[in-house]
Amino acid sequence: MTVVTIIGAGSTVFAAELVTDFLLTPGLESGEFRLVDIDEGRLALAHRFAEHLVERSDRDWTVRSSTDRTELLPGSTVVISTIEVAGLETVDFDYAIPMKYGVDQCIGDTIGPGGLFKALRTIPTFLEILADVERLSPDALVLNHTNPMSMTILAASRASTTPVWGMCHSVHYTIENLADYLQIDKREIEFEAAGVNHLAWVTELRRGGEDLYPLLRERGQIPEVLEQDPVRFELMYQFGAFPTESSGHVSEYLPYFRTHPELVGQWQGKEYIGESGFYAHNWPTWRSENDQMLEAVLAGEREFPMERGGEYPSQIVEAMTSGTPTTVYVTTSNAGWVDNLAQGNALEVAATVDANGIHPQHFGSLPEHMASWVRRHQEFNDLAVTSILDQDREAAVHALMIDPLTSAACELQQIRDMFDEMVAAQREHLPSYLH
């Protein structure tokens, strides 16, 4: 029997999407969802909604839930992490304090000051969960949706013998975006991409034997197309390839677009196009609105689409169960998959999934000018994870000092002062070695 345990199921809409995907997966006619969250109210809502989805599916799945993961981990065949540690209490600090020092973030949850402090809050808890998985369900397939993805997977690879695969939809959604910009069916697109999560590069883009980049460069000259993704089109024109995260998010990974107000004004669009503080200003509201939406569905006032989405977990389980291979993009340790990126560090690369498991594919080498920025982020990730595993405060400070956006916007003492101020503001949610 397939037993899917979702830790952090209080991420209600995302948990509902994952449950829906599994209920619509061919070959998975029966199974059990086990939902875990420390927030009893949100867990109760997730449980009720999962039962609602099971009832609509007419499949033989059951739902269990608990605030204690050790009750539900034994016997799990798939464990999915979607945890958020103190996010609601800290999201304003992650944006507002760096902004005071001139570090302007749009999303700020996987890199830069916001991403670093999310890692410092989240990874210790994630490693505790992983230790329980090792002890109670050692044969489970462990899939991680928790951000910051690269640092979480790197920490897992160094602190645990359990393989953990990072799941992100950024590559999948980028190909959908490109199909829209090119005005072709996404199923016609053949591509190759590699890098680090949220800064991977689509180095090959084809339809049949035709290189689609000349057409994409033409389409990017159309104002209505360009304005949808200005930063990514600029990176394509200057670097030669399209990156795999939104204009707003990828603008945080490089020092070219957000280092002073004039630049932000030039490149910033609304929402994911680059809006300053977009995540910090909206995420608490989104969370509340999503809960209200699920309650409205349960009350019969709204519809929730029973459609299989683009997230990878159900696709992976389907391929492993049926033996029919599929390709997904995973974050994993570099074991020769990309030749000119740091070996042993986390990267994002294509993987084939079949009855024998998940198999990352050899990519070769990234063009050096792209690889150099990816390596910079691998170095940032290395310092951040070293800080957590070795309880080394200075390693975390030094990570922030080499962050591309932060180092371009601040002097060294300003970075240290920013770090100290963020620690003071978030003290109750951080490991004691940082105090």
Share of the chain above pLDDT 90, in %: 95
69 within some domain: yes
**Cβ(408)–Cβ(373) below 8 Å:** no
User: Within its chain, how far is the Cα of 232 from the centroid?
Assistant: 18
Q: How many angstroms separate the Cα of 256 from the Cα of each of 114, 155, 187, 327, 379?
A: 18, 29, 33, 33, 19
Q: Is residue 295 part of a domain?
A: no
CA distances from 249 to 90, 244, 275, 400 (A): 19, 10, 10, 17
Cis ω for the linkage preceding 148 (within 30 of 0): yes
Tokens 């899939």, residue located: 143
Q: Is 246 found in the same domain as 216?
A: yes
Q: Please indicate whether residue 32 or residue 13 has the higher confidence score (pLDDT).
A: 32
Domain count, the chain: 2
Which pLDDT belongs to residue 264? 86
Asked if 121 and 86 touch (Cβ cutoff 8 Å), the reply is yes
Q: Of 120, 142, 167, which closes a domain?
A: 167
Q: Is the pLDDT of residue 12 over 90?
A: no
Using the 3D structure, point to which of 116, 134, 167 is the last residue of a domain. Answer: 167
Using the predicted structure, report yes or no on whether residue 338 has a pLDDT greater than 90.
yes
Instruction: List pLDDT tens digits, range 128-152.
Output: 999 999 999 999 999 999 999 999 9
Residue 341 belongs to domain spanning: 90-107+168-276+311-435
- Kindly state the tokens that stand for 115: 């991403």
Question: In this structure, are 319 and 214 located in the same domain?
Answer: yes
Same domain, 62 and 210: no
* Residue 409 belongs to some domain of the structure: yes
What is the distance between the alpha carbons of residues 119 and 205, in angstroms, rounded to a whole number?
A: 33
pLDDT, average across residues 369-373:
98
Q: Is residue 7 within 8 Å of 129, Cβ to Cβ?
A: yes
Going by pLDDT thresholds of 50, 70 and 90, the confidence category of residue 269 is: confident
Per-residue confidence (pLDDT) for residue 268, from 0 to 100: 82
Domain with 121 in it: what CATH number? 3.40.50.720
The SS3 of residue 327 is strand
Q: What is the mean pLDDT of the chain?
A: 97
Beta bridge partners of 206: 190, 211
How much is the pLDDT for 406?
98
Q: Which residue has the tokens 């609105």?
A: 289
Q: Let me know if residue 303 belongs to a domain.
A: no
Query: What pLDDT sits at residue 321?
Result: 96
**Lowest pLDDT segment from 262-271, 323-332, 391-400, 409-418:** 262-271
**Co-location of 158 and 263 in the same domain:** no
Residues 349 and 411 both lie in one domain: yes
Specify whether 60 is located in the same domain as 124. yes
Number of neighbours of residue 262 by Cβ within 10 angstroms: 8
User: 184 — phi, psi (to 5°)?
Assistant: -135, 165
Residue 245 lies in a domain: yes
169 is annotated as an active-site residue = yes
**First CA to last CA distance, the chain:** 46
Tens digits of residue pLDDT in 187-228 = 999 999 999 999 999 999 999 989 999 999 999 999 999 999
229 and 148: one domain? no
DSSP for 166-196? EE-SHHHHHHHHHHHHHTS-GGG-EEEEEEE
DSSP string of 64-129, one letter each residue? EEES-HHHH-TT-SEEEE---SSHHHHHHHHHHHHHHTT---SS-SSSHHHHHHHHHHHHHHHHHH
The per-residue pLDDT for range 65-114, each reduced to its tens digit, is: 999 999 999 999 999 999 999 989 999 999 999 999 999 999 999 999 99
- 376 lies in some domain: yes
Q: Are 187 and 60 within one domain?
A: no
pLDDT in tens, 37-63: 999 999 999 999 999 999 999 999 999
Select from 116, 132, 167 the last residue of a domain: 167
Is 286 within the bounds of a domain? Answer: no
β-bridge mates for residue 64, sequence order: 34
Examine the domain organization and report whether 238 and 344 are in the same domain: yes
* Per-residue confidence band for 323, with pLDDT thresholds at 50, 70 and 90: very high
| Long-range Cβ pairs for the range 389-398 (8 Å, 24+) | 389/155, 389/158, 389/159, 391/431, 391/433, 392/433, 393/433, 393/434, 396/116, 396/120, 396/434
Q: Specify the pLDDT at position 262.
A: 86
- In-domain check, residue 216: yes
Considering 169, 172, 429, 435, which one is annotated as catalytic? Answer: 169
Q: 226 and 211, same structural domain?
A: yes
The pLDDT, as a whole number, for residue 337 is 98
Note the pLDDT of residue 265: 86
**CATH number of the domain within which 416 lies:** 3.90.1820.10
pLDDT at 181 over 90: yes
Query: What is the torsional sign of CA 326, 141, 69, 32?
Result: positive
Same-domain pairing of 83 and 190: no
Return d(Cα 422, Cα 425) in angstroms, integer: 5
Quick one: 40 and 145 in the same domain? yes
Buried b (16+ CB within 10 A) or exposed e, 355-368: eeebebeebeebee
